[in-house]
């Protein structure tokens, strides 16, 4: 339940949610597939590059993973792998923008909420790394 309580503040970062973000997070953490794409997230405080990284990250489906370099190529910046990682650190709403689904070529990579949690979220979605 500590994990769930850590995400309770997420509602303050989402504009006009379609549903209750807390309820959706609890369902997601309970193992249900939840579509968070209906939530509008305010990214206006980020650079255009950071916004493009996070918008592309939202397209990564449940149970899927891509590498930082694949994400860089997807936004048309194939040499910006490190910058992609830096942009993901600025994600205001992890899980809603599923940056845990972006991994390194050689392993799990980093995660703003800790690598242990990233591993748990990936496992929750059926991935092992």
Contact by Cβ (8 Å): 83, 77: yes
Instruction: Quote the pLDDT of residue 20.
Output: 64
Active site residues: 99
Contact by Cβ (8 Å): 98, 41: no
Kindly tell me if the per-residue pLDDT of 96 is higher than 50.
Answer: yes
Interatomic CA distance for residues 18 and 36, integer angstroms: 9
Q: Would residue 103 be called left, alpha or beta, if left means φ above 0 and alpha means ψ between -120 and 50 degrees?
A: beta
- Could you give the residue ranges of the DSSP H alpha helices within the chain? 2-6, 21-29, 48-57, 68-74, 81-88, 115-124
Separation in Å, CA 115 to CA 17, 102, 108, 120: 28, 12, 8, 9
| Global confidence as pTM | 0.85
Kindly tell me if the per-residue pLDDT of 7 is higher than 60.
Answer: no
Q: Which residue has the tokens 């149970």?
A: 63
The domain ranges of the chain are: 2-124
Task: Decide the pairing of beta strands 14-15 and 66-67.
Answer: unpaired
pLDDT tens, 28-81? 999 999 999 888 899 999 999 999 999 999 999 999 999 999 999 999 999 999
Q: What is the mean pLDDT of the chain?
A: 87
Classified by CATH at the fold level, domain 2-124 comes out as Arc Repressor Mutant, subunit A (1.10.10)
């Amino acid at each position: 339940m500590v994990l769930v309580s850590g995400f309770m503040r997420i509602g303050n970062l989402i504009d006009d949610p379609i549903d209750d973000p807390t309820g959706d997070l609890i369902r997601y953490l309970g193992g249900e597939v939840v579509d968070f794409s209906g939530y509008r997230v305010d990214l206006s405080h980020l650079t255009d590059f950071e916004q493009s990284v996070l918008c592309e990250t939202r397209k990564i489906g449940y149970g899927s993973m891509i590498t930082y370099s694949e994400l860089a190529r997807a936004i048309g910046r194939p040499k910006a792998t490190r910058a992609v990682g830096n942009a993901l650190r600025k994600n205001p709403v992890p899980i809603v923008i599923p940056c845990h689904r972006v991994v390194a070529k050689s392993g799990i990579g980093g995660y703003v909420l800790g690598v242990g949690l990233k591993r748990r979220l990936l496992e929750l979605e059926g991935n092992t790394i």
